[in-house]
Structure 1
Amino acid sequence: MEKQMLKICALQMNVSADKEKNLTTAESELLAREGQMDLAVLPEMFCCPYESSLFPEYAEEEGGLVWQRMSALAKKLGIYLIAGSMPELSEGKIYNTSYVFDRQGRQIAKHRKVHLFDINVEGGQYFMESDTLTAGETFTVFDTEFGPMGLCICYDIRFPETFRSMGKKDIVMAFVPAAFNMTTGPAHWELSFRMRALDNQIYLLGCSSARDPEAGYVSYGHTILADPWGQVQAQLDEKAGVLMETVDLDREKKIREQLPLLKHRRPELYA
């Protein structure tokens, strides 16, 4: 029986205030790797600065320019594309939304960030997404020939219930477009991905934007792939770069058989 291998690409790109430049960067970097991947992921707010006050200016309705360009890119490359996230305008509200396109460029899922990033760390980061964004209300799973895949956005990773909800559909991998900062990144980025991958016995990919010290919000970077054993399979540094890896889903099955955490859960006691 042929081994089940998934080729993934995560683009840790520089994000500027120029939407067209951001789109062109995403397109050119992925087109340069045509034929080398089954699935590609972009960072959180890949087409605009990660600043709450700017989200209304960059917001687009579903089917807008960014959506169209990413749909066409997925179709041209024949890949699944998780188009990072972008500000989505819908019925007068703005969401932090990630669209998923299949190999034909069809939208097969979208995730609206469920947990908004409202923090005020003494001596560290202050940020209030709720100033301009509305929270999503659903957890997101989409189907592929490799199995069901989970999707959430950045701050969602901090809530175990996010992954337990997706896990009910037996996801084999999950993706997190993200932008941790210089307060939370060094402290919690790698720990969060290793922990959630281990708890749920999945491969877990976090795709960040590259670090720009001059930006209003400075991203930590360090795009990461954690495996079902809770180890880091690959990780970038803070600079712009591309993470290309092959995920061995047969190994995931073996880990679940040998250390059957998911079978040993007793949900009737957890309420």
Structure 2
Amino acid sequence: MASSTTPSPVLKQPVKLACVQLASGPDKTANLQHAASKVRDAASTGAKIVVLPECFNSPYGTDHFPSYAETLLPSPPSQSQSPSFHALSAMARENAVYLIGGSIPELHHSEEEDDNKKPSYYNTSLTFSPTGELLATHRKIHLFDISIPGKITFRESDVLSPGNKLTLIDLPEYGRLAVAICYDVRFPELATVAARRGCFALVYPGAFNLTTGPLHWKLLGQARAVDNQLYVALCSPARDMGAGYHAWGHSLVVDPMAQVLVEAEEKEAIVVAELDGDRIEEARKGIPLRDQRRFDVYPDVSQGKVNVEGL
């Protein structure tokens, strides 16, 4: 039965979102400086939400995660423990933007004092406020373990541990958004929970490759948007054929009707889109999925116990 009340808008006012598609080399300090320059460029477009790619401070690959990993807990870490944390905080503060800091490899030692216990590594995204405050931490939940014969084999789980929380972040001027990382986009349950808990956008820093990228990158962005009638942003590294891992590129923003608003090519670029709450409401009124779901036939995955970070 249709709802008799009008839902309040999930996006309070229009906002520009920028995806910064950049290439990263072996020099972490240079990567951080390069990212800072590109965040300034993104902010100069009027973007108030800026997104960096997955593993923006290092090369992507299981061989690189341990050597580039930084300690984030207890928070805030010192400059020596996590130069990337402090660089991201400064980028957000200096440009007065919400900064979704792609992801970085994280080193975590167990609280138990056991010299024989090995440290854990995570693929972790940090989101900062316009004043440079850490708002949320997302550890990649689904690890990229695939094997396509003759194409690509990759096993993040050889090095990384999975996170265990869905990350929803309140931006007071705008509303709520969700942050996840790359392979997380393939799991619609995360997106469904985020949408039903009031998010206006799903943001995925990700590094698809030359096999999975042309197959599914855009398709998955459009699928998560049309399923949930909200905006989806996918932010990739730029392609570097001299690196060990070849990213697909093609950072993009998709609207609530699954139309691609902007899309990069494979080289470095900044793509900017304006997100408007009216487009979310138009999609939901025209195709009223929210009022037509049959929870008498199937369960609502957004109900019950869900581990949430950021609220």
- TM interval, short-chain normalised: over 0.9
Q: CA deviation at 1:74?
A: 0.4
Q: What's 1:148 paired with?
A: 176
Q: What's 1:96 paired with?
A: 123
Q: What's 2:47 paired with?
A: 37
Q: CA deviation at 1:170?
A: 1.2
Q: CA deviation at 1:178?
A: 0.2
Structure 2 Cα separation of the partners of residues 133 and 6 of structure 1 = 34
Letter in structure 2 aligned against 1:6: V
Asked if residue 56 in structure 1 is aligned to residue 66 in structure 2, the reply is: yes
Alignment of 1:251-270 (within 5 A): 251-270=279-298
Structure 2 Cα separation of the partners of residues 93 and 236 of structure 1 = 34
Q: What's 2:57 paired with?
A: 47
Structure 2 Cα separation of the partners of residues 268 and 58 of structure 1 = 49
Structure 1 residues 174-222: Cα deviation after superposition (integer angstroms, max 9, x where no partner) = 1000000011000111111001100000100000000111211100000
Q: Is the contact made by 2:20 and 2:271 (CA closer than 8 Å) also made in structure 1?
A: yes
Q: CA deviation at 1:31?
A: 1.6
More helix by percentage: 1
Structure 2 Cα separation of the partners of residues 50 and 267 of structure 1 = 41
Q: What's 1:195 paired with?
A: 223
Larger Rg: 1 or 2?
A: 2
Letter in structure 2 aligned against 1:10: C
Q: What secondary structure does 2:215 align onto? A: helix
Gaps of 5+ in 2: 1-11, 110-118, 300-311
RMSD: 1.2
Asked if residue 130 in structure 1 is aligned to residue 157 in structure 2, the reply is: yes
Point out the more displaced range, 147-156 or 252-261: 252-261
Letter in structure 1 aligned against 2:15: L
Q: Is the contact made by 1:204 and 1:226 (CA closer than 8 Å) also made in structure 2?
A: yes
Q: CA deviation at 1:245?
A: 1.7
Structure 2 Cα separation of the partners of residues 256 and 156 of structure 1 = 24
Q: What's 1:180 paired with?
A: 208
Structure 2 Cα separation of the partners of residues 4 and 31 of structure 1 = 23
Letter in structure 1 aligned against 2:157: S
Match of 1:80 among 58, 73, 98: 98
Q: What secondary structure does 1:99 align onto? A: strand
Q: What's 2:29 paired with?
A: 20
Asked if residue 162 in structure 1 is aligned to residue 162 in structure 2, the reply is: no
Structure 2 Cα separation of the partners of residues 68 and 108 of structure 1 = 14
Q: CA deviation at 1:81?
A: 0.2
Q: Is the contact made by 1:112 and 1:137 (CA closer than 8 Å) also made in structure 2?
A: yes
Q: What's 1:171 paired with?
A: 199
Gaps of 5+ in 1: none
Q: Is the contact made by 1:141 and 1:148 (CA closer than 8 Å) also made in structure 2?
A: yes
Count of matched residue positions in the alignment of Structure 1 and Structure 2? 269
Q: Is the contact made by 2:43 and 2:50 (CA closer than 8 Å) also made in structure 1?
A: no
Q: Is the contact made by 1:6 and 1:249 (CA closer than 8 Å) also made in structure 2?
A: no
Structure 1 Cα separation of the partners of residues 96 and 147 of structure 2 = 42
